[in-house]
């Protein structure tokens, strides 16, 4: 590994996390797992020389919740030399833990916008049993001018309210056991898909015991000022 410098070659990597073991890893745990994978791969990664124990300097996309699977976990990787994206993909693929798989690698400009700065839309595929009458309730639900969700903050010390209605780009049930949900997100306007589900289904849909939904993060996207959705 090489100390962080101005001659770094930048790559954008997309990996999936699938399976029971992978879905139970926290976002911080996933960051460490991916860092270890980069070290193990032997790639000439740039590192932060200010640390006592230098680590590969990686930049990650939005956090993922424990329990969610994903096809769209992104991180930016800087190398000290230019390699073919296919070479980077092969070395990373051989080094990652079970449950994680490289889906794509591409070289990006040195000063390309960061993942955090550009990503603001997420697409989910949610599978489960939504209960009788769910389709009719969904039609009514989406007619609301406001869908106010409560977020518990600071360990329950305060409650933050967010209007989820302008964040919902798409919400459709097709087929009966699958919900396609596309949400905007950003500072002070991020809501979890579980909260949207609870608001849609209500007590009658969830019952006394909240059902298990399989939540897959399918895509992370950037929404332009014209409303176009673009892959990172």
Query: DSSP assignment of the chain, as one string?
Result: -EE--TT-EEEEEEEEE-SHHHHTS-HHHHHHHHHHHHHHHT--BEE-TTSSS--B-EEE-S---TT-EEEEEEEEEEESS---HHHHHHHHHHHSPTTEEEEEEEEE-TTPPPHHHH--EEEEEEES---TTHHHHHHHHTT-S--EEEEEEGGGTEEEEEE-GGGEEEEEE-STTEEEEEEE--TT----HHHHHHHHHHHHHH-SSPPP-EEEEEEEEEE-TTS-EE--
Domain C-terminal end among 117, 143, 164 = 117
Indicate the pLDDT class of residue 156, thresholds 50, 70 and 90. low
Residues 151, 87 within the same domain: no
Q: Indicate if the pLDDT at residue 1 is higher than 60.
A: no
Residues 63, 161 within the same domain: no
The mean pLDDT of 181-186, rounded to a whole number, is 96
Q: Give the total number of structural domains in the chain.
A: 2
Q: What is the CATH number of the domain that holds 19?
A: 3.30.70.580
Residue pair 126/215 in contact (Cβ under 8 Å)? The answer is: yes
Residues 63, 124 within the same domain: no
Domain of residue 94: give its range. Answer: 2-117
Peptide bond into 75 cis (omega under 30): no
Domain C-terminal end among 117, 151, 167 = 117
Whether this model's pTM surpasses 0.85:
yes
Q: What is the mean pLDDT of the chain?
A: 90
Q: What is the CATH number of the domain that holds 193?
A: 3.30.70
Residues 102, 180 within the same domain: no
208 against 36, higher pLDDT: 36
- CA dist 124 to 10, 70, 218, Å? 28, 9, 5
Indicate the pLDDT class of residue 167, thresholds 50, 70 and 90. very high
The mean pLDDT of 206-219, rounded to a whole number, is 75
pLDDT tens digit string along 36-65? Answer: 999 999 999 999 766 667 789 899 999 999
Residues 137, 186 within the same domain: yes
**Phi–psi pair at 226, nearest 5 degrees:** -95, 5
Residues 176, 186 within the same domain: yes
Which residue's entry shows tokens 């001659």?
Answer: 7
d(CA 88, CA 110): 17
User: pLDDT at position 48, please?
Assistant: 75
User: pLDDT at position 60, please?
Assistant: 96
Domain C-terminal end among 64, 97, 117 = 117
pLDDT tens digit string along 124-147? Answer: 999 999 988 999 999 999 999 999
Residues 162, 215 within the same domain: yes
Indicate the pLDDT class of residue 183, thresholds 50, 70 and 90. very high
152 against 127, higher pLDDT: 127
């Amino acid at each position: 590994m090489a100390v962080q410098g101005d001659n770094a070659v930048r790559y954008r990597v997309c990996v999936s996390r699938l399976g029971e073991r992978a879905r139970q890893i926290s976002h911080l745990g996933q960051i460490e797992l991916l860092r270890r994978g980069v070290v193990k791969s032997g790639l000439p990664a740039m590192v932060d020389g200010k640390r006592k124990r230098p680590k590969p300097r990686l930049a990650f996309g939005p956090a993922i919740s424990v329990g969610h699977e994903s096809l769209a976990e992104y991180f930016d990787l800087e190398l000290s030399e230019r390699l073919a994206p296919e070479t980077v993909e092969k070395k990373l693929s051989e080094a990652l833990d079970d449950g994680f798989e490289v889906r794509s690698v591409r070289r990006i400009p040195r000063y390309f916008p960061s993942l955090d700065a550009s990503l603001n839309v997420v697409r989910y595929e949610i599978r489960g049993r939504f209960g009788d009458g769910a389709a009719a309730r969904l039609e009514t639900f989406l007619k609301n001018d406001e869908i106010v969700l409560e977020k518990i903050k600071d360990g329950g010390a305060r409650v933050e309210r967010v209007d989820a209605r302008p964040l919902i780009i798409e919400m459709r049930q097709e087929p009966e056991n699958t919900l396609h949900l596309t949400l905007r997100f950003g500072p002070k306007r991020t809501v979890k898909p579980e909260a949207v589900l609870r608001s849609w289904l209500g007590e009658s849909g969830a019952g006394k015991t909240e059902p298990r939904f399989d939540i897959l993060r399918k895509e992370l996207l950037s929404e332009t000022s014209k409303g176009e959705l673009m892959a990172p």
